[in-house]
Amino acid sequence: MLTKRIIPCLDIKDGRTVKGVNFVELRDAGDPVALARAYAGQGADELVFLDITATVEKRKTFAELVKRIARAINIPFTVGGGISTVADVSRMLEAGADKVSVNSSAVRRPELISEIASEFGSQCLVVAIDTRFAEGAHVVHTHGGRKPTERETIAWAKEVAERGAGEILLTSMNHDGTKAGFADELTALVSDAVNIPVIASGGAGAKDHFQSVFTKGKADAALAASIFHFGEIPIPELKKYLSERGITIRL
């Protein structure tokens, strides 16, 4: 069985780490470089850095901040936000990122997925899918969850896998920031539909939520933010809990 991964997420706005509920009502959660360094030391398997307003404000992710974070850690590091061209990807990888995450730009022009995979390899491409369940359907959203699209989540997940994505970062907007648990059912549907790793995001609030998304949700990795940022669940404690319950995890 593949080792499950625990991934803290640093949502960045104006150079600071922030956290909200259902993608709004953001509050400050600290300095991203200091947090990144702390998580690497605590045993996080990877980090994700999302410049959450980059697409909305039509600007590029801060390459300088990426460089500072990359220098501070020794674990794989994914960067997303405002990445819309092969040149953007090159800039982030040169700054020290191991992978890039695309979302709105891939929905707008799906060929971008194939272009990035062809140029740099699928292993460094994560396609983020922000989804909301409304009127009986799971609908893909873009622009930091602000804009619903015509795309259905499972179908889009299949397409991004076929186009060369290396991983899917699946965020349930209904669950985001609620601390009521991950979207296990949806995560399992996506995991069953594709042959690439699925990272579950949105709703972590307790240790058993991680156990559930790894078993019922069939996730390969689980991402969380506020419970780590505000010290509610220490990563070593979470990993010990999961290991004791039969989840294959790196201690």
Is 45 catalytic? The answer is: no
Q: Is 11 a catalytic residue?
A: yes
Q: Is residue 248 helix, strand or coil?
A: coil
Rounded distance between C-alpha atoms, residue 32 and residue 40, angstroms: 12
What values do phi and psi take at 38, rounded to 5?
Answer: -65, -45
Catalytic option among 88, 130, 176, 220? 130
- Catalytic pick from 11, 176, 184, 220? 11
Helices (H), the chain: 32-42, 63-72, 86-95, 104-108, 111-120, 153-163, 184-193, 207-215, 226-229, 235-244
Tokens of 111: 């060929």
Residue positions annotated with a catalytic role: 11, 130
